[in-house]
Amino acid sequence: MNIISQNTAFGGMQGVFSHQSEACKGEMTFAVFVPPQAITEPRPVLWYLSGLTCTHANVMEKGEYRRMAAELGLIIVCPDTSPRGNDVPDELTNWQMGKGAGFYLDATEAPWAENYQMYTYITEELPALIAKQFRADMSRQGIFGHSMGGHGAMSIALKHPDRFKSCSAFAPIVQPSTADWSAPALDKYLGSDKATWRRYDACSLVEDGARFSEFLIDQGKADSFLENGLRPWLFEEAIKGTGIGLTLRMHERYDHSYYFISTFMDDHLKWHAERLRK
């Protein structure tokens, strides 16, 4: 693991690191905030998955999570959204595909399958590195994210209910298999057999029997992607009768930006901390 930068913030450490990824066949960058409490004891880990076009830096610079994470004693891990590098396949004119748009899945189709193994990277490779390099209590993990990252967080939590004790999302893509800005990417990454897409679709996972205790979703009503891409009401409908808890908060005037995310970041951190204490 290489240190790119380390800065003191609220008594803790905000770091940016890189390492050679076996899953993604190249160098990957990620950010970690370590709270001051980790000096003396292992602390819970909260994973934040970013959205389309983002890197680790967007939430690190605009998410405003450090003050509350330091107060609550949470380690925050912010991975990149895709593999990077000159040899990694990309669609330069399509922001919904390729670099910055890994969709937290394991691609099976050429040319994407060689590098775009983000599901394995997020669920296996990077957690092993975090456990080795930081004073992290891996028995207490939560996961959240924004937009594409909200999709990633919810689908990963549904597949790993024994690992994650909490899951929340800002404006998540709850049904990527039918959303305008994700279905074309799933087709290219996974092929035309839509049955294989269901493993990465929160609504489909619930329909197929996956369960998680509860979710918190915040959504802006002024979000330009709400009607065609996000549609949280589809998840609300999918979980009826399943016993899955959902707190869905719809906010007037808020859009899809980090102004929205930073406004409700403290709420999410407190929500996770309460569940990670158990």
Local confidence band at 168 (pLDDT 50, 70, 90 cut-offs): very high
Contact at 8 Å (CB) between 157 and 213? Answer: no
Positions marked catalytic: 147, 223, 256
> Which domains does the chain carry?
2-277 (3.40.50.1820)
pLDDT value at residue 81: 98
On the question of pLDDT at 119 being above 90, the answer is yes
pLDDT of residue 268: 98
Per-residue pLDDT at 147: 98
pLDDT at 55: 98
- Report whether pLDDT(278) > 90: no
Question: pLDDT class for 177, splitting at 50, 70, 90?
Answer: very high
**Gap between the Cα atoms of 173 and 186, Å rounded:** 13
Q: Which whole number is the average pLDDT over 22-37? A: 98
Contact call for residues 253 and 53 (beta carbons, < 8 A): no
Q: What is the pLDDT of residues 203-219, one digit of tens each?
A: 999 999 999 999 999 99
- What is the distance between the alpha carbons of residues 129 and 45, in angstroms, rounded to a whole number? 13
* High-pLDDT (> 70) share of the chain, %: 100
* Pairing outcome for strands 43-49 and 26-34: unpaired
Q: Average pLDDT of the chain?
A: 97
Q: How far apart are CA 116 and CA 84, in angstroms?
A: 10
In this prediction the pTM is 0.97
Of the candidates 16, 79, 22, which has an alpha carbon nearest to the alpha carbon of residue 46?
Answer: 79
Backbone φ and ψ for 277, nearest 5 degrees, come out as -75, -20
- Tell me the two tokens of residue 186: 């799933």
* Residue at 231: amino acid letter: R
Is the CB of residue 74 less than 8 Å from the CB of residue 44? yes
Q: What percent of the chain has a predicted confidence (pLDDT) above 90? A: 99
What is the pLDDT confidence band of residue 182, given thresholds at 50, 70 and 90? very high
Angle at 276 between CA 274 and CA 277, to 5 degrees: 70
Q: What is the reported pLDDT for 221? A: 98
Beta bridge partners of 169: 145, 217
Instruction: Please count the residues of the chain.
Output: 278
pLDDT at 260: 98
Instruction: For residues 245-273, give the mean pLDDT.
Output: 98
The pLDDT tens digits for 128-152 are 999 999 999 999 999 999 999 999 9
Mean pLDDT score, 230-254: 98
> Does 99 have pLDDT greater than 90?
yes
Average pLDDT over residues 256-271: 98
* Per-residue CA distances from 205 to 155, 177, 233 (Å): 7, 11, 16
